Amino acid sequence: MVFAGEGYSTLKFGSRGSEVIRLQQALKNKGYFHVNPTGYYGPITERAVINFQIDSKIRIDGIAGPQTQSTLYGRSSTSTATRGATVSRVSSSGDVYWLSRIIHAEAAGEPYRGKVAVGNVVLNRVKSKAFPNTVYSVIFEYYGRIPQFSPVEDGTIYNTPCNECIQAAKDSLNGSRPVGNSTYFFNPSKAAGTWIVRNKSYVTRIGGHVFYQ
């Protein structure tokens, strides 16, 4: 995909080729990419792009689109009006894309209400001043070197979501809130959740997950 007037292809997870090598080298030159360029846009490249976007105070989505590349390479980007329209479209589809994947990774075997509940938690974090303010940045947030969501660490965040998880993401984005203001959840059969239990208030249980705020 090439944006008119820019000449930059949008590079994202899974992209390959010489443009990715150029991106990786530029990130390496600026201290964000710490291995040799490979030409494959994997988790290391994605993390480097996110860190660059954070420091550059531009949209944080882990995708090297025209704005990110023009900032990285030191060239002017599209006009404000054009860029704003593009970001708006990406935001809408991108939220469903990533929210459905975290729901699938965390709650594929949970009842439908439990799937929506996971989306509810992510969106509550987006709205909270204690967390990042986009779906993507909430999902990929790290505390120290530990990701807030385990699917980011084990790679299951990149699995293709089921149709039910996609619908659960849409319902969450449309305002369904089965767990209210909850910002934490865990599965007691898989984790103790000690810090959450000691520091947060219990809200409810849905399927295998308990929810706290």
Is 119 in the same domain as 192? yes
128: which residues sit within 8 A by CB, 6+ positions away? 183
Is residue 94 scored above 80 in pLDDT? Answer: no
Is 178 in the same domain as 204? yes
The pTM for the full model equals: 0.61
State residue 93's pLDDT score: 62
CB contact at 8 A, 149 and 139:
yes
Rounded average pLDDT over 146-167: 92
Q: What confidence tier does 146 reach under pLDDT thresholds 50, 70, 90?
A: confident
3-state secondary structure of 146: strand
Is 35 in the same domain as 111? no
Does the residue 39 lie in any domain? yes
Three-state secondary structure of the chain: CECCCCCCECECCCCECHHHHHHHHHHHHCCCCCCCCCCECCHHHHHHHHHHHHHHCCCCCCCECHHHHHHHHCCCCCCHHHHHHHHHHHHHHHHHHHHHHHHHHHHCCCCHHHHHHHHHHHHHHHHCCCCCCCHHHHHCCEECCEECCHHHHHCHHHCCCCHHHHHHHHHHHCCCCCCCCCCEEECCCCCCCHHHHHHCCEEEEECCEEEEC
174: domain CATH number is 1.10.10.2520
Does the residue 6 lie in any domain? no
Is 137 in the same domain as 197? yes
Encoded amino acid at 38, one letter = T
CB contact at 8 A, 136 and 62:
yes
Q: Which domain holds residue 33?
A: 18-73
Does the residue 58 lie in any domain? yes
Read off the pLDDT of residues 13-64 as tens digits, 9 standing for 90 and up: 999 999 999 999 999 998 888 888 999 999 999 989 988 988 888 888 889 9
CB contact at 8 A, 72 and 31:
no
Q: What gap in Å lies between CA 122 and CA 138, rounded to an integer?
A: 7
Rounded average pLDDT over 174-188: 97
State residue 2's pLDDT score: 32
Is residue 1 scored above 50 in pLDDT? Answer: no
Which of 97-106, 145-154, 168-177, 192-201 shows the lowest per-residue confidence on average (mean pLDDT)?
A: 145-154
Does the residue 2 lie in any domain? no
State residue 80's pLDDT score: 34
- Tell me how many domains the chain contains: 2
CB atoms within 10 A of CB 201: 12
In which residue are the tokens 């989306």 written? Answer: 119
pLDDT over 90, % of the chain: 63
Is 68 in the same domain as 84? no
Which of 66-75, 107-116, 173-182 shows the lowest per-residue confidence on average (mean pLDDT)?
A: 66-75
Cα 53 from chain centroid (whole Å): 13
State residue 16's pLDDT score: 93
Cα 189 from chain centroid (whole Å): 26
Which of 50-59, 94-103, 200-209 shows the lowest per-residue confidence on average (mean pLDDT)?
A: 50-59
Domain boundary among the residues 73, 93, 113 is at 73
Is 56 in the same domain as 140? no
Is residue 82 scored above 80 in pLDDT? Answer: no
Domain boundary among the residues 31, 47, 73 is at 73
Is 181 in the same domain as 118? yes
State residue 130's pLDDT score: 92
State residue 142's pLDDT score: 84
pLDDT over 70, % of the chain: 88
